[in-house]
C-alpha cells in the first residue's frame, strides 16, 4: 500500500518502464489559455467559431477558458505537486504571429509568454513537449486563401511560423510535434463540419465545403507542410539544438463485430487504415510512399497523389510514432460489395457497435458518448503499431471523462474521488507497461488527457477530462486536484525504473 493505493496486482510490473520514461499531461492552447484577444493575440478560426451563435454545444466560448495565460506559474506548481516530469502543450500560432503569414510581424508579447512558461517548467524539472499546431489556424489565413485548401501558400506560412518557434525556443525545447491529430482536424473541420473552419457538404448547417474532396486535400497539405518543417528543423536547427521532431496521430482500435466473419475482419483492418495508416503509412511505412490501398480503391482520384519531392519530404519525417488514442469499437462493413459507396463517406464504409456479436461490451461508459474504457483495445493497438511501423512510441494523449463531475463549487469529496478515471489510467497504463516488459515494445512516454478540465472545443464545458477539477464560474478558475492525479503520481513511481 502506497499512500492509500495498492499496487499488489501490478507487483510484477515494478520498474518495467525505462529510467528516462517521460510522463505527464497534455493540453492545447485554445482550451486552457484564455486571453483570446490580449497582448496582441490575433483571432484564430476557433475564436471565430466560438463567437458564431449555435456552433458550441453550451453556447460558451474559450475567451477565458482556464486562464492559464494568467496563472501558468500556478499550473506549473500544480504539475510539480503531481510528480510529472514532462508537459505537452501547444503554441497558439495567432498569439505568436497574429495575422499568420510569412510576411506578417511576430508578436513579442506572445513569444515572451511561451518563453516564460518554458523557463518555469525547466526550473521545476519538467520537460516541455511543444506542439506547433493543435487545430487553431490564424483566422486571417482562412479569410485570405482558405488556409490548408491552398497548399502552396499554407506551406510557406507554416514553415515561417515553425522557424520562429525553433529560433526562439529551440535552445531549451528538445521535443517538437508539428501536428496534433491531422486526421481529426481534416475530418471534423472539413467533412463533419462541427469543428473549425466549419466546412462540409451539409448545406443545412454549413455554407461552404465539399465533404467528398476537402478532407483529403487538407490531410495532404498537413503531411507535406509537416515534411517541409521537419526538413528545416533537421537541416538548420537539429545539429546544434539536438532535439527530436515528429507528428502525433490519432487512432482507436477497431475489432471485428464477428471475428469469424471475413467481411468484418476486413472492415476492422480497413478502419485502422483509414483512421491511422492514412498518415502513418506515408510517414512511417516501407516501400512506395502512398496512402493505403483501401483508400485509393474507395476514393480514387479524390485522394491526392504524392509528387516525387513530396515523397522524399514525407517518408521518414518523424523521429518517433506519436500516438493519441482513447477507446475501441466493434465494426462491420456498411455498404455491401458491389453497391456504390456514397462520396461523402470518409471513414471507410463502416458501421460501429458498442457490443460484438456475442454481446460483449467494448467497455465501461464515461460521460462522453463515444468514449468507453477499452484497455484490451489499447493493448492490441500498441502491438499493431509496433509491428507495422517499428518506431519508438510516444503516447501523447490518453484519458477519459467521468460521470457526475458537473456540480457546483466546491466539488464534493466523492466528485474529486474520480474512481472511474483512476481505473481507466490503471488499466491503460498497466497494458502499456506489460507491452514494454513482456514484448519489448519501445514506448518512451505517456501523457494523460488532460491536466485540467477545460473548454472542450465544440462541446464547450460539457466534457471534463482533467485530473484537476475547474470552477469555471469563479474569476480565478479555481483548481481542485482530483484523486486520479495522486494515483498517477504513485503509479508511475512504481512503474518507472529507478535511476
Tell me the catalytic residues. Answer: 181, 397
Q: How many CB atoms lie within 10 A of CB 164?
A: 17
Query: Cβ distance 65 to 30 under 8 Å?
Result: yes
> Shortest CA distance to 456 belongs to which of 139, 61, 166?
61
Q: How far is CA 432 from CA 74, 116, 375, 395, in A?
A: 31, 33, 9, 9
The strand pair at 393-398 and 321-324 is best described as: parallel
Query: What whole-number distance in Å separates Cα of residue 43 and Cα of residue 158?
Result: 16
Q: What is the 3-state secondary structure (H, E, C) of the chain?
A: CECCECCHHHHHHCCCECCCCEEEEECCHHHHCCCCCCCCCCCEHHHHHHCCCCCCCCCCCCCCCCCHHHHHHHHHHHHHHHCCCEEEEECCHHHHCCCCCCCCCCCHHHHHHHHHHHHHHHHCCCEEEEEEECCCCEHHHHHHHCHHHCHHHHHHHHHHHHHHHHHHHCCCCCEEEEEECHHHHHHHHHCCCCCCCCCCCCCCCCCCCCCCCHHHHHHHHHHHHHHHHHHHHHHHHHHHHCCEEEEEEECCEEEECCCCCHHHHHHHHHHHHHHHHHHHHHHHCCCCCCCCHHHHHHHHHHCCCCCHHHHHHHCCCCCCEEEECCCEEEEEECCCCCCCCCCCCCCCCEEEECECCCCCECCEECCCCCCEECHHHHHHHHHHHHHHHCCCEEEEEECCCCCCCCCCCCCCHHHHCCHHHHHHHHHHHHHHHHHHHHHCCCEEEEEECCCCCCCCHHHCCCCCCCCEEECCCCCCCCEEECHHHHHHHHHHHHHECCC
Amino acid at each position: 500500500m502506497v499512500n492509500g493505493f495498492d499496487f499488489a496486482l501490478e507487483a510484477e510490473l515494478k520498474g518495467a518502464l525505462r529510467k528516462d520514461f517521460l510522463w505527464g499531461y497534455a493540453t492545447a492552447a485554445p482550451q486552457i489559455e484564455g486571453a483570446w484577444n490580449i497582448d496582441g493575440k490575433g483571432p484564430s478560426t476557433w475564436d471565430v467559431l466560438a463567437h458564431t451563435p449555435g456552433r458550441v454545444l453550451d453556447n460558451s466560448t474559450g475567451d477565458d477558458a482556464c486562464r492559464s495565460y494568467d496563472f501558468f506559474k500556478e499550473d506549473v506548481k500544480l504539475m510539480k505537486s503531481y510528480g510529472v516530469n514532462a508537459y505537452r502543450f501547444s503554441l497558439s500560432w495567432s498569439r505568436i504571429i497574429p495575422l499568420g503569414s510569412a510576411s506578417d510581424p511576430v508578436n513579442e508579447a506572445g513569444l515572451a509568454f511561451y518563453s516564460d512558461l518554458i523557463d518555469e517548467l525547466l526550473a521545476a524539472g519538467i520537460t516541455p513537449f511543444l506542439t506547433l499546431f493543435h487545430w487553431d489556424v490564424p483566422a486571417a489565413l482562412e479569410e485570405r486563401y482558405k488556409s490548408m485548401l491552398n497548399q502552396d501558400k499554407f506551406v510557406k506560412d507554416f514553415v515561417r511560423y515553425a522557424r520562429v518557434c525553433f529560433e526562439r525556443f529551440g535552445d531549451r525545447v528538445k521535443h517538437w510535434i508539428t501536428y496534433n491529430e491531422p486526421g481529426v482536424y481534416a475530418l471534423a473541420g472539413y467533412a463533419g463540419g462541427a469543428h473549425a473552419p466549419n466546412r462540409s457538404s451539409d448545406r443545412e448547417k454549413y455554407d461552404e465545403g465539399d465533404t467528398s474532396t476537402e478532407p483529403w486535400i487538407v490531410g495532404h497539405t498537413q503531411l507535406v507542410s509537416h515534411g517541409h518543417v521537419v526538413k528545416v528543423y533537421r537541416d538548420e536547427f537539429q545539429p546544434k539544438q539536438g532535439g527530436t521532431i515528429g507528428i502525433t496521430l490519432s487512432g482507436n482500435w477497431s475489432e471485428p463485430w464477428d471475428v469469424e466473419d471475413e467481411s468484418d475482419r476486413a472492415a476492422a483492418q480497413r478502419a485502422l487504415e483509414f483512421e491511422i495508416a492514412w498518415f502513418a503509412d506515408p510517414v512511417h511505412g516501407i516501400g512506395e510512399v502512398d496512402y493505403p490501398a483501401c483508400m485509393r480503391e474507395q476514393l480514387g482520384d479524390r485522394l491526392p497523389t504524392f509528387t516525387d519531392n513530396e515523397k522524399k519530404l514525407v517518408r521518414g519525417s518523424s523521429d518517433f510514432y506519436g500516438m493519441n488514442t482513447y477507446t475501441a469499437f466493434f465494426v462491420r462493413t456498411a455498404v455491401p460489395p458491389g453497391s456504390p459507396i456514397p462520396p461523402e463517406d470518409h471513414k471507410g464504409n463502416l458501421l460501429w457497435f458498442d457490443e460484438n456479436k456475442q454481446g460483449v461490451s467494448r467497455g465501461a461508459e464515461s460521460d462522453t458518448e463515444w468514449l468507453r474504457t477499452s484497455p484490451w483495445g489499447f493493448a492490441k493497438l500498441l502491438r499493431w503499431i509496433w509491428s507495422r511501423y517499428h518506431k519508438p512510441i510516444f503516447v501523447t494523449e490518453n484519458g477519459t471523462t467521468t460521470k457526475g463531475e458537473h456540480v457546483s463549487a466546491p466539488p464534493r469529496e466523492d466528485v474529486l474521488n474520480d474512481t472511474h478515471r483512476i481505473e481507466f489510467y490503471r488499466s491503460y497504463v498497466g497494458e502499456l507497461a506489460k507491452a514494454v516488459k513482456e514484448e519489448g515494445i519501445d514506448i518512451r512516454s505517456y501523457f494523460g488527457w488532460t491536466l485540467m478540465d477545460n473548454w472542450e472545443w465544440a462541446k464547450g464545458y460539457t466534457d471534463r477530462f482533467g485530473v484537476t477539477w475547474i470552477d469555471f464560474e469563479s474569476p480565478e478558475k479555481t483548481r481542485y486536484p482530483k484523486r486520479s492525479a495522486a494515483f498517477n503520481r504513485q503509479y508511475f513511481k512504481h512503474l518507472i525504473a529507478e535511476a
